Amino acid sequence: MPGMNRRHLALLVLINTVVSLVVALSVVWAFESRRPDLEELAAIYTPRPEPILAAPATQAPAVAQPTPPPDTAPLAETPTATPESAPQAEEIYIVQPGDTLLVVATRYGIGVDDILEANNLSNPDYVFSGQRLVIPVQGGGGAVTDTTAAGGSGEPVVEGVKVAAVSGAADLAHEQVIVANESDLAFSLQGWKLEREGGPSYTFGNVPLFPGGSVRLHSAAGADTTVDLYWNQPSPVWQSGAVVRLLNAQENVVSSYTVP
């Protein structure tokens, strides 16, 4: 009989297990069937948006327009006369040996800066023989009255520089010719000549001759200074009746003088 008891016990355990399993499944099924769906929960607990009411349109206040002023006739403008400047004329000057810009400017009665500007130059101390300079002359008039020597080359003859006197003629130790500048202009005698008509001639170096100034050319030998020049002649050059001629660098006769 002990074997029958063990079979009855195993059967009871099996039945108990089956019943427990059925009960557990029933509980799970009942729980699952009562749980709400997630989408339904989201629909229930999601707040509905509040409706936004559009504000009623308001009409902008009318802006008062300015009243246009009455038409007035424009005032007639009085023309203003513009002063006309004198025409600016130009001359061409060919630089001669010994010329400086100061000499040229003084000759034409203008400033050195005027010549520099007219020729686009920057160095007032540098000019060369044969250089063409534009000379601006206000109103078309120059500072020098130009004449042409008979038989000359057509270059202007400078007035105011002249042979002023001859002293000590026929005495080599004392004879001299005085060349004076009686104008208001400064000159350079570079390349100028002083000659006895039909006789010897002397060529000046870079000798400045300022207004009211003079230089003395001695026939004898000696050391040159700014106002005394020496010709180094072996015998007297001048005698009564001889004609002294002063020529500029263009070979034009500037002055002549007859020895008394």
149-201 confidence digits (pLDDT tens): 333 443 445 568 999 999 999 999 999 999 999 888 888 899 999 999 999 99
pLDDT value for 96: 77
125-134 confidence digits (pLDDT tens): 877 767 889 9
Token digits of residue 45: 């607990």
Name beta bridge partners: 147: 157
pLDDT value for 4: 61
CB of 218 within 8 A of CB of 227? Answer: no
CATH superfamily of 161-258: Lamin Tail domain (2.60.40.1260)
Helices (runs of H) and strands (runs of E) counted in the chain = 4, 12
Domain ranges of the chain: 88-138, 161-258
How high is the mean pLDDT in each 10-residue block of the chain (260 residues)? 70 85 80 65 58 56 57 54 56 80 81 89 80 75 38 49 94 96 88 95 94 93 95 97 95 94
Listed in sequence order, the DSSP H helices in the chain are 2-34, 38-45, 101-108, 112-118
pLDDT value for 125: 80
DSSP codes joined into one string, 117-142: HHTT---TT---TT-EEEEEEETT--
The alpha carbon of 170 is separated from its chain's Cα centroid by a whole number of angstroms, namely: 62
CB of 196 within 8 A of CB of 174? Answer: no
pLDDT value for 157: 54
pLDDT value for 142: 39
φ and ψ at 119, to 5 degrees?
Answer: -110, 5
- Specify the CATH number of the domain 88-138: 3.10.350.10
Name beta bridge partners: 196: 244
pLDDT value for 229: 97
